[in-house]
Amino acid sequence: MINKDLGSAVHIVQMIIAKVLKSGGTAVDATAGNGNDTLFLAQTVGSEGRVYAFDIQEKALKTTRKLLERHNAARQVTLLNTGHEGLDKSVPVPVDAVVFNLGYLPGGDHALVTRPDTTIGALKSAIGLLRQGGRIGMVIYTGHPGGAEELYAVEQFTSGLEGSEFNVIKISYLNRSAQAPVIIVIEKAGAPHESQAATQNP
């Protein structure tokens, strides 16, 4: 897990996700990028769990695979070189957690960015796969062209989710520039699923 406390939006999301993702669980990294979230998810679910990681850039998946192999965590991860908007077609079971990092691949082509239409499609798919008590964590970067529009699209969509079925929160930095990353977390309301309850109450 990245250890930067509240100074890292990615770390905040990982802390929130860690509360609902246990050993043997199932998770999705909708934007594998350089593999840091994928590694976090893989280490959290352990060898008995499963992680599905998506990225349209082969370079990103190669970097992710090397990182996983270096930490002996590749066995429990399925890497998918495809867009995340159809993730429900590639993930066969309900999931405990989904992570998104929206923007461009650090160190990659800045012209290749996530876009509102495919992001909302992926978000709809992710919500459909989420178990009761499961969470979706999103870090949304707005400093690139189109970033603010993507944040707006996500805010519009998530604010329309039924309050009796989902809890949605937004976290932003008050003492940073307007282009600082924004966090949105979606939790499917209800009791944790059976395996989680068993883990929490042995």
Place of tokens 């199932």: 26
DSSP 192: P
Residue 42: other Cβ atoms inside 10 A:
27
Helices assigned H by DSSP within the chain: 9-18, 36-45, 58-70, 87-90, 116-129, 147-159, 194-200
User: From residue 70, how far is each of 11, 18, 35, 64, 74 by CA, in Å?
Assistant: 21, 22, 12, 10, 9
Place of tokens 């059976």: 194
Domain that holds residue 28: 5-200
CATH code of 176's domain:
3.40.50.150
pLDDT digits (tens), the chain, 202 positions: 445 688 899 999 999 999 999 999 999 999 998 999 999 999 999 999 999 999 988 989 999 999 999 999 999 999 999 887 878 889 988 999 999 988 754 554 444 566 678 889 999 999 999 999 999 999 998 866 667 888 999 999 999 999 999 999 999 999 988 788 999 999 999 765 444 444 433 3
pTM of the full predicted structure?
Answer: 0.88
Dump pLDDT digits (tens) for 12-58.
Answer: 999 999 999 999 999 999 999 899 999 999 999 999 999 999 998 89
Give how many domains the chain has, as a whole number.
1
